[in-house]
Structure 1
């Protein structure tokens, strides 16, 4: 693989806690079990070319799962009923679409658009061929029906037999209503997953989301790498919407269609931002055709448990999660076609294994928390949180006995930070525990610096949260020790622009991993308190996750 473009940050030392042993609610000396060399070995192996990007249903997928299972077994952690060899089977189907050009008939002219360059498309049905011929194209604004916000883009109109085109993200909050759709923060209504779910509920034949980079939070190249090639789905009825056509359309292509129909995207953006917006039949007919090749296979989640010490509480558990999949082999970029996913999310798996090492180290000394602790590494997150959705529908531990979930997705590989960002912290009383951990480590907890990107809805903790489990996803802050104040934000922006879902997301031996060690300590401290305190965290009033249709 070609050399990484990322900066190596060398010379940091691990930020050590100033909390005194005498007053500490944590076991003395647990930090000695956090070993950077072990974190590095796990990260380097999982991100190696040998695993070919860890796409579900591939050799790399199986190698990664077996490696993780072996590591958990070597720690002395137990398998769970339903996954006797640490592996929970997840039935899946992989579908590869081969689209014809998208044909649009408008005002007596025919426009054609090319797959990948102008649009991407896939299906929620797994037939050998999918064809929608000469269907009306209807603009439905943001494609949202949200009674709690008194918002309805559909206005009761019949969408059966139509192809919908809609905007990504939420409607903007006007000055007169600054908290509309939680203001700057993206809600679930802004996610593409919701858009397709709602289109399916309305009986549409298909739906295209217009990709405007600033509104989506990532460039078109991310759409190309994420939604081309084989797309995987759960081979379980009723879990995903069976919408015949789902797709993204590139902004320039959308503008061309709208202009030909006599509309302006900028004008439609303004109209869609109002409550009185009504669906617009664009006077356009669209034909979408593609052949599909499907293969059924079994992927796997990997799970283990450390049993709690308190007979009255050991039936309850704190759950750590991370996804181990990535995109596999895809389009070649600068001579490289392996999408290793080192940061996303070999780093998170290595960190969860690091947390498990701490618990296992203490258990060998006869020290266990009162509650049990689960470790779950899931498949197919990149395909829409599928592994965690499957687990949430068929849990290996009762969800009503799962007191909290701590998720690690994209763990800081650079250096220690002065702050952490626990996504979702404000939704539950878990914030009290997390603040105690922050004080112990001398760091600050900050709100999401990029709320408009909707990160809370984009990783596996959300699958548990939508089922009622208090959950956070832990991210590093942006204030790096010894770096200028804006250094962390620039690093994040560079990653999204150049490396997110690209072959260049690969392991760099220059990474110091001191930030990863800091994250492991933070995650252990938080989980230990949740597993030892009497009280369980609960959702704050009005802050529980609400998913339409559930």
Structure 2
């Protein structure tokens, strides 16, 4: 990356405090002006970086494949050229993320002596280990919801048992969903999101397996899984041993009624006496991927960590076409590089941040937020209790065509006020002072039907009670298509949005007290 002079004064500081091009760690007596360092973030450099990163050369950066390996090496080379180190020893910028690519498992199932066929009556969505269940005790958990406002698990023990749950969510006498109190779909009612929500609820309550009854989803999923099985296609990537000792199956109405004949009408939780046998074998191919981590150590509070994150992966090559992922999330990736360079220039000028900053490029976001989940749930490089905030950047280079009103110089902010009012107010003040981006909170709603609050890497920090801001421009016609190319990026907007993240990071890293979690 090109290095830019920012002012005659700063050049004098560099010349008098640096020797042989090495970073000067002596604190400057001249107060730092973050606006000077924000100016080092330019659309010209962002464009140069993105045309490289989102080129055909990187083959769409599919997790675990050649293009993704090239991408992480490229990011490593950028940090080394900037003189930014790593939290590991030597020049190891990679946090290895062990993944697995499971084959489509096929189960043998019988209920009260009658056989039920794979793909006609049931499919396996998750199988962590080979399965051999013979039981006469199945727990019916109604809709399988476990929420602070309503829970099907509150009065029953499901540890080590098989649970049966059905789709949907109850409503109160006013026609509002019981978990939210309004008519908007929630994470318990919204299609694929309800799958993960109800699966997680069963796992967290200790169930060994879940049978999930959803006729509409089953009719869509079963043919797809059957084609995968017949072609020998390996299923979706997951974290190695991610699901623990757990099986998750989707079943049709015939099988659900065989277990509980009044399943459609009855939502009351109960133990069912039925003879159930399930056998299945799990096979998986191991895949190794990498998060890229670079690190600037804080001068006064080095144990307090600010994370700035973006995902480095995309969709790869499909049907011979490269899915370049310029906006998703090449834009966030190169934004972090420019932010890191700006902070490193400040360090060279004697303005080391008070808190440490971890620049975190995560893998496997497109496969289910895998890299960030590995960082937060399995191998946090720094203790999560020391992490003051996560500023997550995912798609900040385009304009949402559905946004008909407002300034083109906008960005959607999601999550800024969910865990820390102070972080939200800080963000607003910094923007007003430095960048004047129109901050749009349209999608800052946990019940937003698009579910954006749950769909990018910041959410794995949210789960761990860490304040976040998610920066996002919205989707567009090129989202997850080979046409998401660098020539369509609005580089002036990318520059200003990147500067906004930098100024917010500067304030979080240098304020006297860490942001307060509400």
TM exceeds 0.5? yes
Residue-by-residue CA offset, 1:386-440 (whole Å, 9 max, x unaligned): 3223323433334333221111123342384435323242320211111112323
Structure 1 residue aligned with 2:70, among 63, 74, 77? 63
Change (3 A) 1:47 1:539: same
Tell me the matched-pair count: 464
Q: Which runs of 5+ in 1 are unaligned?
A: 1-23, 214-218, 478-490, 541-550
Distance 2:159 2:355 in 1: 50
Mapped to 2, the partners of 1:323 and 1:173 lie a distance apart of 40
TM-score between both structures, scaled by the size of structure 2: 0.72
Distance in 2 (CA, whole Å) between partners of 1:527 and 1:420 is 17
After TM superposition, the structure 1 = structure 2 runs for residues 383-398 of structure 1, keeping only pairs within 5 Å, are 383-392=367-376, 393-398=378-383
Q: State the alpha-carbon separation in 2 of the partners of residues 171 and 353 from structure 1.
A: 47
1:370 corresponds to:
354
Partner of 1:12: none
The 2-side partners of 1:401 and 1:65 are apart by: 26
Tell me the distance in 1 between the aligned counterparts of 2:296 and 2:172: 46
Asked whether the equivalents of residues 306 and 356 of structure 2 are also in contact (C-alpha less than 8 Å), the reply is yes
User: Given the superposition, is the C-alpha separation of residues 363 and 207 from structure 1 closer, same or farther in structure 2, using an over 3 Å criterion?
Assistant: farther
CA contact (8 A) 1:303 1:377 kept: yes
Displacement of 1:380 in angstroms is 2.5
Deviations 1:352-399 (A, max 9, x none): 223223223433444443323220112223344332233234333343
Q: Which residue of 2 aligns with 1:515?
A: 493
Q: Which of 405, 411, 414 is the aligned partner of 2:399?
A: 414
Alpha-carbon distance, 1:82 to partner: 5.6
Q: Does 1:113 align with 2:97?
A: no
Deviation at 1:520, TM superposition (A): 0.6
Residue 404 (structure 2) aligns with: none
Distance between the aligned counterparts of 1:220 and 1:107, measured in 2?
Answer: 26
Whether 1:180 and 2:179 are equivalent positions in the alignment is yes
Larger Rg: 2
User: What is the SS of the residue equivalent to 2:237?
Assistant: strand
- TM-aligned CA distance change 1:510 to 1:420, over 3 Å: closer
Q: Is residue 54–residue 485 contact of structure 2 (8 Å, CA) maintained in 1?
A: yes
The answer to whether the aligner puts 1:352 opposite 2:352 as a matched pair is no
Deviates more, 1:278-287 or 1:421-430: 278-287
Partner of 1:471: 468
Separation in 2, partners of 1:264, 1:517: 59
1:312 equivalenced with 2:300 (yes/no) = yes
Distance 1:42 1:248, change over 3 A: farther
- More moved, 388-397 vs 278-287: 278-287
Structure 2 residue matching 1:142: 3-state secondary structure: coil
- The CA deviation at 1:473 is 1.7
8 A Cα contact 1:420 1:475, kept in partner: yes
2:293 to 292, 303, 307: 303
- In structure 2, relative to structure 1, the CA distance for the partners of 1:110 and 1:178 (3 Å cut) is closer
Secondary structure at 1:421's aligned position in 2? strand
Q: Which deviates more, 434-443 or 177-186?
A: 177-186
Structure 2 Cα separation of the partners of residues 211 and 72 of structure 1:
50
Pick from 197, 201, 213 the counterpart of residue 200 of structure 2. Answer: 197
Q: Offset at 1:156?
A: 1.5
Secondary structure in structure 2 of the residue aligned to 1:242: coil
**Separation in 2, partners of 1:226, 1:314:** 49
Partner residue in 1 for 2:244: 241
Query: Residue 459 of structure 2 is aligned with which of 449, 458, 462?
Result: 462
Given that residues 423 and 455 in structure 1 are in contact (C-alpha distance below 8 angstroms), is that contact kept between their aligned partners in structure 2? no
**Alignment pair present for 1:324 and 2:312:** yes
Identify if the C-alpha distance between structure 1 residues 159 and 316 changes in structure 2 by more than 3 Å, giving closer, same or farther.
closer
TM-score (norm 1): 0.69
Give the 5 Å matches for 1:258-297: 277-278=268-269, 289=280, 292-295=283-286, 297=287
Q: Is the 8 A contact 2:310 2:360 kept in 1?
A: yes
Residue 47 of structure 2: aligned partner: 40
Q: Tell me, yes or no, if the aligned pair for 1:344 and 1:505 is still in contact at 8 Å.
A: no
Q: Structure 2: any 5+ residue segments left out of the alignment?
A: 1-30, 401-407
Q: Distance in 2 between matches of 1:39 and 1:174?
A: 54
Alignment deviations for residues 507-538 of structure 1 (CA, whole Å, 9 cap, x no partner): 25233233322321111111111112112112
Q: Root-mean-square deviation (CA), in Å?
A: 4.4
